[in-house]
Amino acid sequence: MAAKSKTAATWLAVVGGTLGLHRFYLHGTGDKAGWLYPLPTLAGLAGVTRMVNLGQDDRIAWALIPLLGLSLSAAMLSAIVIGLTPDDRWAARHGGAPRPTGWGPVLGAITALLLGGTVLMGTIAFGGQKFFEWQQAGESRAAQ
């Protein structure tokens, strides 16, 4: 097994984690978990497309868009875990001799924390807003 770069894996998770690129880099294209990453991402993008085309009242878009946010948050969590894995444990799991990796993975983990936290908070706010809008719409229909 060839040694895998912790810096490369961290930044692949930040940049292409929603498509599972970090999983394919670490485990190859036969990784079943890697192939699950694009599914919620594509569903969420379909929700964004529906909302752009059909407007904000499309309930299917409301249900699909949070999948994109959760997928982005999961990818950023993966980047944080990869970036903060100790060098000796990384070498034991992914080949090679333990070597100091420097600031690359740490900066990737910091970037992932900023992006992931922002996206997760936005996803929670969006989902909560749409939930309460559904509740209010139901009450106003029942009152009529």
Show pLDDT as tens, one digit a residue, over the chain (144 residues).
678 999 999 999 999 999 999 999 999 999 999 999 999 999 999 999 999 999 888 889 888 999 999 999 999 999 999 999 999 999 889 887 778 888 999 999 999 999 999 999 999 998 888 888 878 877 777 776
> What pLDDT is recorded for position 95?
81
> What pLDDT is recorded for position 100?
82
> What pLDDT is recorded for position 1?
64
Q: Are 27 and 13 in contact (CB under 8 A)?
A: no
Question: Does the residue 18 lie in any domain?
Answer: yes
Identity at 47, one-letter amino acid code:
G
> What pLDDT is recorded for position 98?
76
Question: Does the residue 106 lie in any domain?
Answer: yes
Q: What is the model's pTM?
A: 0.86
| Structural domain count, the chain | 1
| Domain that residue 67 falls in | 6-143
> What pLDDT is recorded for position 99?
80
> What pLDDT is recorded for position 121?
95
> What pLDDT is recorded for position 143?
72
Helix residue ranges, H only, the chain: 6-16, 21-27, 32-36, 38-54, 59-83, 87-94, 104-143
Question: Does the residue 58 lie in any domain?
Answer: yes
Question: Does the residue 1 lie in any domain?
Answer: no
